Amino acid sequence: MSDGGNGSLLAQPLRPPSAGRTAALVGLLLLGAVTGLAGALLQAAWFPGGLLLALAGAAGLFLGGAYATGGRGGAVAPAAGWVVAVLLLTTTRPEGDYLFGAGGSSYLYLLGGMALAVICATVGAGRQPRGGPARLGK
């Protein structure tokens, strides 16, 4: 496979991302952190429905970010923001308060969200070759 006669895509030098792509990924990172916070509050409020709604919102953000940016980085950025926010919310404060209880709903949210992040980052919209619908080997 070649890119206009310049050799293999793997042999091309790495270029820094454009300013627009960097801004989009930083925005997705912050949106992932907000989604993690909102989901942490929502999953405890309405147990079965809130948990499902929080996980569906996280999955929608991860997969939507992948499709919006056209690559897996769009799923990894909000997933990283979500994980950092949720892990910071699990720590106890000096007063002994914490946001997550020791119930099954909290563990399902933590583990389910991390599993969804991995699934969406792996299966999400990867880079597709440009060109027509013909086979690549032609």
User: What total number of domains does the chain contain?
Assistant: 1
| Spatial CB neighbours of 131, under 8 Å, sequence gap ≥ 6 | none
* Token pair for 3: 């890119």
Dump pLDDT digits (tens) for 85-138. Answer: 998 888 877 776 677 777 778 889 899 999 999 998 888 665 655 666 666 565
Task: Specify if 10 maps to a domain.
Answer: no
CB 6 within 8 A of CB 12: yes
pTM of the model: 0.77
Dump pLDDT digits (tens) for 65-78. Answer: 988 888 888 899 99
Q: Is 7 left (phi over 0), alpha (psi -120 to 50) or beta?
A: left
Q: What average pLDDT score do residues 40-61 get?
A: 89
Q: Which domain holds residue 79?
A: 21-90+104-125
- pLDDT tops 90 at residue 32: yes
- pLDDT tops 90 at residue 43: no
Closest C-alpha among 83, 79, 62, 78 to residue 125: 62
Task: Specify if 86 maps to a domain.
Answer: yes
